[in-house]
Amino acid sequence: MSYTTLSIFTPGSKWDGIENGSAEWGAIFQETFAILAEHGAEQVGNFFVPGMAANVSIQTYADRDTALRCQAKMVEGGYLNYQSGGEAISIEDYVGIVS
């Protein structure tokens, strides 16, 4: 069974002072995606929402603990600042739970 997350985040301190598109930016970008790959994260969607001045990301992981370990590594490494994050379930599953 997979675990789906929906996260709202802004860039972490690792990105401070980094010029967009620079070699250093590219290296940090690759590190970020290496962490996701290390935890088996599959990107369902990733969006920038101007009205929130934040990114919204939907990802699936093998399980909850793997998702939490990945998120913790992102925060500890200064890659991301999570504003909100949690499990995302389909509306069909939600209706089944609350009915």
State the pLDDT at residue 1.
63
pTM: 0.84
pLDDT band at 86 (very low <50, low <70, confident <90, very high): confident
pLDDT digits (tens, 9 = 90+) for 11-32: 999 999 999 999 999 999 999 9
Which strands make up the sheet holding 42-49, listed edge to edge?
42-49, 54-61, 3-11, 80-87
All structural domains of the chain, each given as residue ranges with its CATH number in brackets, are 3-98 (3.30.70.1030)
Task: Count CA within 13 A, CB hemisphere, residue 21.
Answer: 0
